Structure 1
């Protein structure tokens, strides 16, 4: 069974401790500032314990007795007016010092929390980028965004607004209960009589609040995923008139989240009000018994007043527990979602003994490579392929034959199930991922441009490139002319994903990016797919310049383009079925020759159908 206002805290405690242990290295870096903030908090607790005592002096020494001089040790005899003035000034000093320490501890802990969680968010984002494609192919991007932005934000807010105040509340509670027992142990025990009832009531609600909090965070992640997916594919959504369907799905998730939020608020409010009532019962019992002690002259009125003030302040942390435990449950859920990502080990990562790769010559080998996205169903089956330095290789075949998979293995986006991929005779895992991928340029079928200037989009390939080098790369890619025709030239900012440019223009920017990188290996994955004839010719001209003198692998369905390669590899069902030059494969009369004839006839028929009769 759970326990009192701390019941939910106890339920969440293992999770919170695990989160704290996992993030301790971040906290340790801020130990100086955190120690200062903790010292200010402890000083504030001591000052809070002094607050009621001026009131006791005023009641017992001035208000109850007839006005007469008061002897104060160390200060001599003071008149009644002086005592009243001293009490008033002491109240201002005590409250002022408490406010100062509270300000110092609050600001100090807030700065620590923000620094720590900013570092965690940065590392979480970096870790997500390192996770393998096998993870990202199944994860929802909106859900991941929710973890980076929403969950870290939730954790930061709760640390500042709940966890640290609760720590102060615990210290105040312990200090005041200790003073209560020193002052009058009978009254202290009487004040704790309602505590078992409070524990039972809290335990009834604790698990429910925690479970509702978990559902809320999960549902908010689902909503973020829906929004992200809709916005990233807005063209398709509008073209297919799917707005109503997505709105309906989002509305259902939003309504369920509203119900969970209302339920959480209702449970938390019920717990807080229960605490209020039980505190009132405790106060009434102390007032009843304490007044009887005063009447019997076993306790002074000032002592009773101090006791009641302590009791009120001691139960204030208990009220805070009821308020903060719901927030801590949300923090627990958010922290677990963050750790779930941080604790995931990338399938592809640097080995402990990996070293930076030397400059590659470009000799690539696939030796008996087996690979499957599902390990039980191999996709590549005993693939053998050798590419000489500077050789231009076209990889062709029907859809699903494994063409793009070869490129992914060379980039080490995946590792083979068995067999090995080598460059210049060395296994790829021998090298660090950064040094490997920095020597391979890529032009894809759908190249992503960022919401930045065209200059920056090209320069992402090599951030230290000069402006002249960026323009030379664009000229090689046949992109300089259309860029200079834009209002701001190379400083023109393109829309998100480059949607303000045509497909051909985006491809030429991608070619410019690859040209600027100047790497010994080049990967081209259907770079002309979906382009019209004019843009296709411009891109192919640029690629012809780009591939000169480099080892290049060109995946394409267009055999007219493949025919220009030094070596053509025809894949079928994950195996190399045919290999050779264009003329050799035509002479072989196999699958490649049949497919080439079919494509040539289709192109001839298309040209004839579009010809203008004289």
Structure 2
């Protein structure tokens, strides 16, 4: 009999989901590792267990229903086949029994699906939150040796696999197991001899099922690790898209990504053949056993024929054989149905290996642990006695060597010294990001390791060079560290940070939102304050404001303060100044004491060109804000500035930098508004069209699936003929035809192996090749987009990486094997109806009449299934959760420094809660609909046998005709159900297809770095001109950065070839925008930017950027060796060129200090090198480019004095070697003394311009005020 859910694993199970990275051929597939079965329910609580218990009971009842039906069916066949009894009475009994069985099955089926779906949704929600919690509680050293880009992929994959492995598939597996046991029990009660014969063949089916599950798991593991690596490549490129664009490295990343995807494609194609053979083996095993059963059954019926003809009792009749066989058949198919369930469980267990390793890992230092002491009062006495320390990622590089420093409570200690000397390391050790390898650090006499970690960090306020904001309103950001803080407390904190005045000038005041999201700064009053280059990135005016905030903080409470600074003028008043070099405190004392020694510190001060004394200028802020008196011809005056007119991003950055001195920061999120450049191309191909590109494989796969479509109804035809043989009164005929039809099952089994293998091979090729093409095309399309596209919130890093991973995987599901299933379904239905109509058109018509009812029930079930909530970027809440996860991992140091784990977890739980709620509700509805389909199925059986029996009783059809018509359609229906398995993926797959293809075939971006279009200049001299520029960022259309309708004219400036032009001015004045426009990250709204008289829009984008070197304030290095990172600046660079560039950037010496020199592998985020070293490597990358245009956006702000001097010398050497046009953005005016032209900007306009000497002659000018403020005049 047909069983709607008794189906063998569908083609294409065990599909890959992740991404990879390797330029060399992949090693053999690793042995699959699985977590213990108990770990699968690690996240279940009491309610989940109770739901699963009820679901299990219901699934068992559902599984027993069909074997019970077989008892009734066998007795009815005996009466109809032998022509005994009242047909109509027995048919009525059958219909009544089916109705009662259908009603009961409706209830238990509904409970089965609903309970498991509900429990699975709750466990999946808990898994996500628990894994994120476990990730966030790991020590920083763990992140240094684990790829953060892969962690988001691991969670995404584990979530999907876990939901399958604990939900629907498990309920189906329990049902199948119950059906299998019930079938065997009933079979033994009917004919124990035949059952033993059938049982002897059971290991064959079981072995085939296990083999299939093993192949699926291995295939999953073989591609999973590779895809995760590829995801890391994409995550790295998209997360640093501005650096990638400036280097013109899009194609390099694309090629690396493509190599990995192509390797995954190769592995996937190989797995398809194995999956096909395993599926075919499972089917053929069943058919071979059926052949054995029918042959032996015919012997039993023939031997018992005299007993049957004599009317004896206990005879082995045709009905007994059929009941035994079909009960075993149901059990066998149920065993086959266990395969996808076992596979789902195996895949879930495999995907949980990494998850459980993280969840169960005990971190070296746990920020969420309650272990450790807490002190009633923290004075702030700190003692460093560090004998040895090295970073976990660089165990051979000793950073601290007998590092000793004693700081009394309330003292301010400044740490200075060259990059890599160990200054920031001291801050990291004090925050317990790491522990000393040997030695200790104490707080008030207590070893830091003995203190509770959260307590310790709560006692510390930390401000880094680049403070960040959480998404949410300004008030939410400030309130984050003290949940429930009153509005008065929030306002007081803002005022203390000198941020209140400009905050209230925003349109929505303190409720202004920078982004859509969660949490931010804490309101704290720390006993210890750590300032790691807190003002190095600020312009002079902003620095003055922040310094005032720091002074307010110092006056409010005496606290121990550590200051890491390169500008020695900011640490002159420190109680102690520690000069660090090579991991040791070389000098210690006050400014005056150290100057008197004339040692290292005095030399550093001399390098800055003064005594370190800063001349405060009364009213300097007012001069900058309001301008000065009339002056020389070359000095333009400035108008008054309203903060509300500044770009929101700039003011928020000011807020971040100021408030951070009192508060804490949190996670960064992409800024922007809805919109973007992507669109839908009307002529993009369909999924079918894309698949047809691989037509030879497609043809083989489709034809093989057509053959498989014929297999199921032909199976029913064979069964019908075997049944009719059992009711013959001729013993020889029973033996002869029984052997013949048994042989036909052997043929059927052989065909199954052949066609399943070919089907999977053909369509597997199509699916894998298409998936690879989609991933590569999607990644390429992303790299083609302009920078403005990445500014949009919907294109945040989490959403983009999820689109690459998940949406292409959804398309994979509906491409190859789904097309084959559709062909298989059509031929199954067509051939089944042909056989039925040829046997009995009346029964065939009645069967057809039931199809709309079954179709309606299945359609409703499909719609409910299709409505299930997705975790993917396109779903409500999914994008926010993915973005939050990616940002959390990317900013783990910020999260750890401020003990923001719990607040972040709360935000994450709120983001995923709607998804879980909808999944629970949808699961309940799915259960109801599933129960309805079961009721319809049993009702259909009852109707068909009632009508067929009446036809036989009236002589309008023979027994054989009735069975051929019914069995061919019902077996065909089983094949139809098999072919349409997981069709619920179609809607999601089509939606994903539209999104991915819309991106791939979107209109060509205006700024396309991969396009060959555009002019290429033979000789680039380097003349740059900005002509009447008006510009606003795509994500901030309400704010003009340059020019605008309220300005008399646009921004205009001409820079002759070979000149050095420096831009100075407050944050948000438009300085960096000129650099972005020069690189053509954006196009101006009005006006034009030209290079040697050619509009940048007319030039080839890659060609333009090849002639422009860029060094930004925050250097970004990529995974790979030091040499590879430098070589990003010049394609095909030789080792000699790399070393020469490193020497020019004064990076060679510290590179050679690494254990592996230029072959030293840089970890993700380049955590292996200090900030100054990173900057020098980035400068080396620009040097090797040897471009005629050089853009320096605060390129030396992160460097210590010695490094700055070395780099400045290197830059001067570059100018001497080759005259190049240089645009410099600088806050330290000492670095731009020799600039040919200095441009002072404010609010998108040039307010002053001239040489250094000319500008300082105007004593009331803005620039001269800045110069006096920095002690330069």
Q: Could you tell me the TM-score, scaled by structure 1's length? A: 0.86
TM-superposed deviation, 1:481: 0.5
TM-superposed deviation, 1:270: 3.8
- Greater displacement, 326-335 / 591-600: 326-335
Name the structure 2 match of 1:597: 1268
Partner-residue secondary structure (3-state), 1:557: coil
Q: Is 2:944–2:966's contact at 8 Å kept on the other side of the alignment?
A: yes
- Greater displacement, 253-262 / 118-127: 253-262
Summarize the alignment of residues 570-609 of structure 1 with structure 2, pairs less than 5 Å apart.
570-589=1240-1259, 590-600=1261-1271
TM-superposed deviation, 1:571: 1.7
Aligned equivalents of 2:1124, 2:817: Cα separation in 1: 41
Aligned equivalents of 2:840, 2:1271: Cα separation in 1: 102
Name the structure 1 match of 2:779: 125
Name the structure 1 match of 2:144: none
Name the structure 1 match of 2:808: 152
- Greater displacement, 291-300 / 196-205: 196-205
Give the length in aligned residue pairs: 575
Residue 1112 (structure 2) aligned to one of 434, 441, 444: 444
- Listed one character per residue, the Cα deviations across residues 102-160 of structure 1 (whole Å, up to 9, x for unaligned) are 22112321221111011111111111122222221223211111111122123213445
Residue 45 (structure 1) aligned to one of 688, 702, 709: 709
Partner-residue secondary structure (3-state), 1:576: strand
Name the structure 1 match of 2:442: none
Name the structure 2 match of 1:611: none
Is 1:86 equivalent to 2:86 in the alignment? no
Name the structure 2 match of 1:534: 1202
Partner-residue secondary structure (3-state), 1:253: helix
Partner-residue secondary structure (3-state), 1:380: coil
Partner-residue secondary structure (3-state), 1:362: coil
TM-superposed deviation, 1:486: 0.9
Aligned equivalents of 1:595, 1:315: Cα separation in 2: 84
- Listed one character per residue, the Cα deviations across residues 247-302 of structure 1 (whole Å, up to 9, x for unaligned) are 11222334443333344444444434432321221122111221233344433333
Aligned equivalents of 2:880, 2:1054: Cα separation in 1: 46
Q: Is 1:181–1:188's contact at 8 Å kept on the other side of the alignment?
A: yes
Q: Is 1:565–1:581's contact at 8 Å kept on the other side of the alignment?
A: yes
Name the structure 1 match of 2:1008: 349
Aligned equivalents of 1:175, 1:265: Cα separation in 2: 35
Residue 698 (structure 2) aligned to one of 18, 34, 37: 34
Residue 1041 (structure 2) aligned to one of 379, 390, 400: 379
- Greater displacement, 395-404 / 343-352: 343-352
Aligned equivalents of 1:259, 1:158: Cα separation in 2: 27
Partner-residue secondary structure (3-state), 1:554: strand
Aligned equivalents of 1:437, 1:22: Cα separation in 2: 36
CA, structure 1 residues 353+517, in 2 after alignment: closer, same or farther (shift >3 Å)?
Answer: closer
Q: Is 1:392–1:552's contact at 8 Å kept on the other side of the alignment?
A: yes
Q: Could you tell me the TM-score, scaled by structure 2's length? A: 0.43
Aligned equivalents of 2:699, 2:956: Cα separation in 1: 43
Name the structure 1 match of 2:1220: 550
Q: Is 2:1066–2:1242's contact at 8 Å kept on the other side of the alignment?
A: yes
Name the structure 2 match of 1:106: 760
TM-superposed deviation, 1:161: 6.1
Task: Looking at secondary structure, tell me which structure has more helix per residue.
Answer: 1
Q: Runs of 5+ in structure 2 lacking a partner?
A: 1-681, 1044-1049
Name the structure 1 match of 2:1075: 407
CA, structure 1 residues 318+168, in 2 after alignment: closer, same or farther (shift >3 Å)?
Answer: closer
- Greater displacement, 289-298 / 107-116: 289-298
Aligned equivalents of 1:559, 1:37: Cα separation in 2: 70
TM-superposed deviation, 1:202: 4.8
- Listed one character per residue, the Cα deviations across residues 353-406 of structure 1 (whole Å, up to 9, x for unaligned) are 623343411111111111112455432111111112221211212211111111
Q: CA RMSD in A?
A: 2.8
Summarize the alignment of residues 423-572 of structure 1 with structure 2, pairs less than 5 Å apart.
423-548=1091-1216, 549-572=1219-1242
Aligned equivalents of 1:251, 1:376: Cα separation in 2: 33
Q: Runs of 5+ in structure 1 lacking a partner?
A: 1-17, 70-79, 605-614
Name the structure 2 match of 1:138: 792
Name the structure 1 match of 2:841: 185
Is 1:393 equivalent to 2:1049 in the alignment? no
Aligned equivalents of 1:495, 1:241: Cα separation in 2: 24
Q: Is 1:60–1:301's contact at 8 Å kept on the other side of the alignment?
A: yes
Name the structure 2 match of 1:281: 939
Partner-residue secondary structure (3-state), 1:419: strand
Q: Is 1:372–1:378's contact at 8 Å kept on the other side of the alignment?
A: yes
CA, structure 1 residues 327+45, in 2 after alignment: closer, same or farther (shift >3 Å)?
Answer: same
Is 1:231 equivalent to 2:889 in the alignment? yes
Aligned equivalents of 1:161, 1:274: Cα separation in 2: 28
Q: Is 2:712–2:974's contact at 8 Å kept on the other side of the alignment?
A: no
- Greater displacement, 151-160 / 244-253: 151-160
Q: Is 1:356–1:431's contact at 8 Å kept on the other side of the alignment?
A: yes
TM-superposed deviation, 1:211: 3.5
CA, structure 1 residues 386+116, in 2 after alignment: closer, same or farther (shift >3 Å)?
Answer: same
Q: Is 1:272–1:319's contact at 8 Å kept on the other side of the alignment?
A: no
- Greater displacement, 144-153 / 474-483: 144-153
